[in-house]
Amino acid sequence: MMSALMQTYARLPVTFSHGEGVYLFDTEGRRYLDGISGIGVNALGHAHPAVTAAITQQADKLVHSSNLYRISTQETLANSLTKLAGMDNVFFGNSGAEANEAAIKLARLHGHDQGIKQPAIVVLEGAFHGRTLATLSATGNRKIQAGFEPLVGGFIRAPANDIEALRQIANNNPDVVAFLAEPIQGESGVNVLDTDYLLAAREICSAHNWLLMLDEVQTGNGRTGSPFACQGVGLQADVITTAKGLGNGVPIGACMARGHAASILGAGQHGSTFGGNPLACAAGLAVLDTIAKDSLCANAANMGELIKDVLQAELRDNHRVRDIRGRGLMIGIQLHRDCGELVAQGLDAGLLINVAGGSTVRLLPPLVINEQESRELAAGVAALIRNFN
C-alpha cells in the first residue's frame, strides 16, 4: 500500500516495534542484531533505562519552555558537553545539519569581522555535512546536490589528505576563513583522514587565521573510542559540531566553539525554537553520564578492535575484500565492487548493517555492545561477505 509519505527514502520492508540493548524486534516478533544504531544515533542501544528514566521524568515536569528563558538542563548539558570536548561554549539545535549551519554562519561572521566580504570555507571531496541548502553545498557528493542548484556559494573544494592542495588554497585565497572536515568521513565510506594531514591542516589554519571546524556529527560522543575523534589524534579544533549519538534518538545537535571562536556569535545572530529544549537536554545528559559511568569510550575502542580482528581473521583470504578500516565502533569493510544488496541480505539474516559510498559495509553498533555481541556481529558480517557474489 502506498502511504501519504513523500517518497524520499528507499525503505527496507521491515517495521520495528521495540528494541532492547543491541537488539531490535520487528512487528512479527523477529529479532535483529543492530549493527547500525539508526545511523550512529542509538549510542546506548535501545530502551536504555537511563535515557528512558531521564526523558520520562523530564516529560513529567517540562518538555519545552523556550530560549526566551533560562533552561537549567540546557546549561548543565552545555557544561558537561564542552568540558568533555575541551571547548568553551555551545549552541544547541536539533540535528547535524543545523549544527553545521551554525558553524558555517559562525565562520562567515568571523570573516566579516575582519572585513572579508565574501568569506569562503574550504571543504573536502567526499564530505557529507547534511541536506539543508548550505550543508548540501558543503557536501562533496554531486548526487546530493543535483537538482537543487543554485548552490550556496562560499565553499572551496579540496581533495582529502592532500596537504599541498590545502597550502595552495591558503596561498591563493585571502578570503578563506575556515576549514571544515569530518575526521572520519562517514557517508562516503568510513574514510579516515590521515592524522598527519589533520595536524598539518591545524598549522595552516592557525597561520592564516582560519577556523578549524570539525564535523563530528557522526564521530562524536564516544563513537571512535575517545569522546571526540579529534581528541584521539591530539587535534585541537576551534569549532566542533555534533549530533547523532548525543540524544540516543531524541533530536539534538550542538555547535561548540573555543577561544576566539566562542565569542563570535552574539545576541540575536542565531536561534532555534526547539533547540536545546528541556526534553532533548535531559536525554543528552543521560547519554553523557552513562558514557562516563560505564566507560563506553573504552568499550568502543576495545570492541572496535575485537570486531576488526575477527573480520580480519575471517576475511583475510577473501578476494572480495579490499580494506578493513575505521576507529572504535565506526568500522568500514570496503569491497572491490558495489555491494548495496548486502543490506537486504543482512536483514534476511537478522543483521542490520549499512553500505556507504557504494562499496563499503559500514558498521556503527551501539557503544554498549559486549564481547559476545561483537563476535556475533563480526561473524555475521563476515559470513554475509563470504556468501556475496
Ligand X SMILES: *Cc1c(COP(=O)(O)O)cnc(C)c1O
**Which residues within the stretch 186-245 sit at the binding site for ligand X (CB under 6 A)?**
186-187, 215, 217-218, 243-244
Q: Binder to ligand X among 21, 130, 284, 304 (CB under 6 A)? A: 130
The dihedrals phi and psi of 173, each to the nearest 5 degrees, come to: -125, 90
Give the CA angle between residues 37, 41, 42 to the nearest 5°: 60
Non-local CB neighbours of 273 within 8 Å, separated by 6+ positions:
66, 67
272 marked ligand binding residue: yes
With binding defined as CB under 6 A, does residue 74 bind ligand X? no
With binding defined as CB under 6 A, does residue 354 bind ligand X? no
Query: Among 179, 238, 244, 308, which one carries the catalytic annotation?
Result: 244
User: In the complex with ligand X, which residue's Cβ is closer, 186 or 225?
Assistant: 186
- Contact assessment for residue 375 and residue 347, using Cβ atoms and an 8 Å cutoff: no
Q: In which region does residue 16 sit, left (phi positive, over 0), alpha (psi from -120 to 50) or beta (all else)?
A: beta
Query: Among 91, 92, 128, 228, which one carries the catalytic annotation?
Result: 128
Does 215 participate in catalysis according to the annotation?
yes
How many angstroms from the chain centroid is the CA of residue 261? 21
User: In the complex with ligand X, which residue's Cβ is closer, 96 or 328?
Assistant: 96
Q: Which residues are 214's β-sheet partners?
A: 181, 240
How many angstroms from the chain centroid is the CA of residue 347? 23
388 marked ligand binding residue: no
Binding range to ligand X, per CB under 6 A, among 89-97, 188-196, 227-235, 312-320: 89-97
- For 168, the grid coordinates are 595552495
Applying CB under 6 A, what is the total number of residues that bind ligand X? 15
Does 308 participate in catalysis according to the annotation?
no
Selection from 196, 270, 269 nearest residue 234 by Cα: 196
128 marked ligand binding residue: yes
Query: Among 92, 215, 228, 308, which one carries the catalytic annotation?
Result: 215
215 marked ligand binding residue: yes
Binding range to ligand X, per CB under 6 A, among 91-99, 173-181, 294-302, 308-316: 91-99
DSSP 194: P
The C-alpha atoms of residue 59 and residue 278 are separated, in whole angstroms, by: 9
Site track 153-192 with ligand X (rule: CB under 6 A), x = hit: -----------------------------x---xx-----
The C-alpha atoms of residue 54 and residue 97 are separated, in whole angstroms, by: 25
Q: What does the binding site for ligand X look like in residue numbers (CB under 6 A)? A: 95-97, 100, 128-130, 182, 186-187, 215, 217-218, 243-244
Annotated binding-site ranges for N(2)-acetyl-L-ornithine: 131, 272
Active-site residue list = 128, 215, 244
